[in-house]
Amino acid sequence: MDYSLDPVIARIRLLAPATFKKVGGAADLGAALRELKQEPAAFVIPQQDAPQANALSNAVSQLTRQRFGVVIAISNLRDASGEKAQTELAPIREALFNQLIGWAPDADRDPVNYAGGRLLRLSDRVLWWQDNFDTWYYLRKT
């Protein structure tokens, strides 16, 4: 049972290079936070697995919500208000939503749902935005 986020990263890479110049995972985000070389960029990061109570007595069957985030980085050069970056963010998020919402990462997981978004950081160089998504799967062990 592999519930990695690799299928999500691969799905977002389908948008590149038209939407994103760089797509990566959590390991790539650390370097990008220090020095972003290509933007717009997207980074898929794990957020939380939240299992419900076990439904069985002699085995395990837990419906589990898998939440992941997509951190988007957009250039914000010399724009203190971030207005230009915010304008550029809207179509990028729309493309991301079209690619992920309603798509199932694999046969064992439910289609992806939107779970909210927020501004992470706005500097004179980069606007960092994070959208969160949920998918559900059953954790089973007999």
73 within some domain: yes
72 within some domain: yes
Q: Where are the beta strands (DSSP E) in the chain?
A: 22-25, 41-51, 60-75, 113-122, 126-141
Alpha-helical runs (H) found in 4-128: 6-13, 26-34, 83-100
Tell me the per-residue pLDDT of 82-112, one tens digit each, with 9 for 90 and over.
Answer: 677 778 899 999 999 999 999 999 999 999 9
Low-confidence ranges of the chain (pLDDT < 70): 1-2, 77-82, 124
pTM to 2 decimal places:
0.88
80 within some domain: yes
| CA-based radius of gyration for the chain | 17
β partners of residue 119:
129
**Residue 105 in tokens:** 């990462």
1 within some domain: no
User: Domain with 37 in it: what CATH number?
Assistant: 3.30.2000.10
**How many domains does the chain fold into?**
1
Q: Name the residue range of residue 57's domain.
A: 6-141
